[in-house]
Structure 1
């Protein structure tokens, strides 16, 4: 039994360690070779000596200690679209938001870069919309939340990976501390239009049924998150700390007993979950609500210079 257990533990550890090393040192072949040599040394210790378990434990401590030593940082060479994290100063009902992204995209990778500051009155906070964006598998969607104010302002929050310049998203890397977590605040003509026009994604907008107090709590929860990770960075995780699970954690301020659901993993099912909770506005069946929520074609058909936020809500 111990013989079998040794090889199972070594096999699982080799797979996990190999991926971790590959993610963290993609261009350093010597690190991969060194890890491979260490695995061979453990195998030799098991086959040729009585020190197999000691060698495996030593390697586990070294690799585990290295992995746990990886810490999230604020000072990397960030990609332009996640170079800044939204922060806010709250004074009573007046909120000043810093680092709101207002890029004007020309293709999926290039934009005229603008970061702005805005002041909002919490008394004028009037609505919240959930926006989902599917790029491939309909079971997986990116989640954004757009808050609307009576004075016409709209601010969209998006929990994202904080990529370094030239870095691309990797769901595997997201398991192995490759990315920090970012909270982006943006206007809709930036963050929604990027997805409808330039990425060609299936974007849908759902009105949320929230009371004024719930709107206020959720908005302030986002601001608290931004202020927190702007000072104390966190790692993104593909399963536990992503665009859906982070919002679920924020939502527990409204409903502490909010249960777990498969939609936290399969985020394309979020509308179904919210419909069961009675949070989605709209008449008819869920399928009818989902069909009415689709905005990509409407957005792309908008004339140049039109009010983008008004266009994507036309007829709702």
Structure 2
């Protein structure tokens, strides 16, 4: 069984990482699989386990040596929505204020029709008032993308989201995310961009949950996100479907600032994250979960929102954030 698992993992890794031109990936993966067939067949015919162990060890060590040479990069032809990485700059004159460069504020009309806009925004962390977790359901009740939104006294919000850093020709594949297929991006974006693109363009269902967190912890979590994002510019890393995804990174950052969050299977099945957050006492509302799920659903409110006439961009963004939080 172990040999079969090693053979299968290696086959998939080669398919994911070897260049596809001239069917090279398929050919090398087939050679790998054929080598295992010969090895296992010989061992079974001879009724000896030692050749299988020795030969399998050589094959696995050779594959791992090659696997270790694959490093994440920051210089690829990235898709437009992850082309820039967030960079944080402390304010020299006011310690409580930070500047975020490359905050995404796109206007989306469809997945391929959008107006790109990357902005520099300043945030006074003494004015932090809220932290919300957004869950965007895109594949059934168990699978959701996790985003964290920080709200300020002036009505502005900025959302941090762990995303795959797609290249221009790539589409997300959860299985490929196990095999160093995608680099990681930590996007900072306006709510009117990153939430509305999911509800209005992709047709996903988005829920928004208010987190019960002291202001000091809000500030520390914000800074943890911001500095994690800046590090990716100089030290790129791979996205991993299981261990380094949109939910597990949130958990790791929260633990880093001292939040006592236990490990739990719902960190992987992120669609059930509200139950987990409620169990650890992290949700501000103590309503029954069925009621909370209904009131937290912002999908229809986001789809119905229209910008009031005469508002500038910042005011329109604040109005969108206010509108999606108005429970009927």
Structure 1 length as normaliser, TM-score?
0.91
Whether contact under 8 Å (1:88, 1:97) holds in the other structure is yes
Residue 297 of structure 1: aligned partner = 300
Whether contact under 8 Å (1:217, 1:253) holds in the other structure is no
Q: Which runs of 5+ in 2 are unaligned?
A: 309-315
Q: Determine if the alignment matches structure 1 residue 14 to structure 2 residue 7.
A: yes
Q: Determine if the alignment matches structure 1 residue 221 to structure 2 residue 224.
A: yes
In 1, the alpha carbon distance for the partners of 2:227 and 2:166 equals 22
Per-residue deviation, 1:195: 0.8
Residue-pair matches, total: 309
Q: Determine if the alignment matches structure 1 residue 123 to structure 2 residue 117.
A: no
Q: 1:22 to 1:286 in 2, by over 3 A?
A: same
Per-residue deviation, 1:100: 0.3
Whether contact under 8 Å (2:15, 2:29) holds in the other structure is no
Matches within 5 A, 1:135-146: 135-146=138-149
In 2, the alpha carbon distance for the partners of 1:100 and 1:244 equals 21
Instruction: Classify the secondary structure of the residue corresponding to 1:287.
Output: helix
Q: 1:265 to 1:41 in 2, by over 3 A?
A: closer
Whether contact under 8 Å (2:155, 2:321) holds in the other structure is no
Matches within 5 A, 1:182-261: 182-261=185-264
Q: Determine if the alignment matches structure 1 residue 310 to structure 2 residue 322.
A: yes
In 2, the alpha carbon distance for the partners of 1:81 and 1:72 equals 19
Q: 1:43 to 1:148 in 2, by over 3 A?
A: closer
Per-residue deviation, 1:249: 0.5
Whether contact under 8 Å (2:19, 2:25) holds in the other structure is no
Whether contact under 8 Å (1:182, 1:229) holds in the other structure is yes
Matches within 5 A, 1:1-316: 8-25=1-18, 27-28=20-21, 29-41=23-35, 43-44=37-38, 47=42, 53-91=53-91, 92-305=95-308, 307-315=319-327
Whether contact under 8 Å (2:7, 2:36) holds in the other structure is no
Per-residue deviation, 1:308: 1.3
Residue 313 of structure 2: aligned partner = none
In 1, the alpha carbon distance for the partners of 2:72 and 2:204 equals 30
In 1, the alpha carbon distance for the partners of 2:162 and 2:32 equals 38
Q: Which runs of 5+ in 1 are unaligned?
A: 1-7
